Amino acid sequence: MNKLDATSLYNIHRSIKHFIHKTPLITCDTFSKITETKNLYFKCENFQKTGSFKLRGATYALQTYITRALRMNQPIDNLEIITHSSGNHASALSYAGNLFGVKIRVVMPNNGPSAKREAVRTYGGEITFCEPTQQARELTTELIMAKKPMQLVHSSDNYLIIGGQTTVAYEIFKEIGDLDYILTPLGGGGLLAGTCLSALHFSPRTKVIGVEPALANDAYLSFKSGAIHPPLPPLTIADGLRIGVGVRNFEIMQKHLHDIITVDEEEIMRATFLIWERMKIVVEPSSATTLAALIKYRKMFRKKNVALVLSGGNVDLRNLPFSRDLIEL
């Protein structure tokens, strides 16, 4: 990943572009006025296949593992992939596995959204449930791998996954040549690390900022201290951001990230509702963290050109991620 250059990023995008959507980059005058930004753009990965940006990394990773297997004259039928995920990576990997004919085994927390569990099953992934902690996810995965050799594809702490996620910002920078800031949600850090690498090669003046829930701010603590902080209890409503920051991601963030800012639960829920109401699109709370941060720290972004990544839209519509007492402007 240290040898990744602009040509490499272009080749990654070219290799997966036929399997993904080039998601729209849209504007919203309401939020531009509220935040007093010069220009405000939303990269809508909630419209991506499987409902999140995760398909980009999953597709690139599987393509690479398949290519390696073929070079070693190994049958694809013997290639079996395992991961642990709260949902979006699991469904993306299951979708890609079904597309390429690769078996996918997924360890999921037992309190994850039902919509994400059903998506994994629909795409053919085999689920093993575990307790909703990082330790339980990793231990359950290790126990399964001890019984049968499998290729572990971490949801974020994997250079191939990071490489695939660079394509989100790559598409943004190809469409917009003058950005002051780009904000992405921050969980394990795959999307954020990929965004940092794309900015490095295609828009060096753009400041990349990660947004993290205050109840899951291990990456914020890690970034400020210079050493990885253990994951916090999974209490945030932003279920896609409950995982701890990865080692590979953190190394990239330390070199190229401008800053990490946090938002609280009420701010996340209100931003989720506002996007649903004003933009007429469905996003999950993890996605809405970027708008929550823009509103909270609007003075920082006043009169600036800003892009927000809406990372996904996989929501259990029977359990809406906001309450009536939080939807007043």
pLDDT beyond 70 at 2 = no
Helix axes 159-175, 54-71, angle to 10 degrees: 130
Question: Mean pLDDT over all residues of the chain?
Answer: 93
- Between CA 128 and CA 84 the distance in angstroms is 9
- Within 13 Å, how many C-alpha atoms sit on residue 57's CB side? 32
Average pLDDT over residues 29-54: 97
Question: Is 146 in contact with 169 (CB distance < 8 Å)?
Answer: no
Q: Is the CB of residue 37 less than 8 Å from the CB of residue 43?
A: no
What end-to-end distance do the CA atoms of the chain give, in Å? Answer: 44
Instruction: Measure CA 211 to chain center.
Output: 11
pLDDT tens digit sequence for 133-181: 888 999 999 999 999 989 999 999 999 999 999 999 999 999 998 899 9
Give the pLDDT mean for 199-204. 96
3-state secondary structure of 241: helix
d(CA 233, CA 240): 13
Matching CATH topology for 6-52+159-326 and 54-152? yes
Cα 244-245-250 angle, rounded to 5 deg: 165
Looking at residue 312, the DSSP 8-state letter turns out to be B
**pLDDT over 70 (residue 327):** no
Q: At what angle do helices 218-225 and 247-256 cross, to 10 degrees?
A: 50
Q: Helix crossing, 6-16 with 190-202: angle to 10°?
A: 120
pLDDT over 70 (residue 53): yes
- What are the pLDDT digits (tens) for 91-107? 999 999 999 999 999 99
Where residue 329 falls among pLDDT bands split at 50, 70, 90? Answer: very low
* Residues catalogued as catalytic: 54, 86
Cα gap 307→297, rounded to integer Å: 14
> Cα 75 from chain centroid?
31
Order of strands across the sheet with 181-185?
25-26, 39-44, 305-310, 181-185, 207-213, 259-263
Q: Is the pLDDT of residue 55 over 50?
A: yes
Architecture field, domain 54-152: 3-Layer(aba) Sandwich (3.40)
In the chain, where the domains are located: 6-52+159-326, 54-152
pLDDT score of 3 more than 90: no
What is the CATH number that goes with domain 6-52+159-326? 3.40.50.1100
Query: Which residues have CB under 8 Å from 151's CB, separation 6+?
Result: 65, 79, 80, 81, 82
15 in Cβ contact with 63 (< 8 Å): yes
Which is higher by pLDDT, 320 or 13? Answer: 13
Between CA 40 and CA 29 the distance in angstroms is: 8
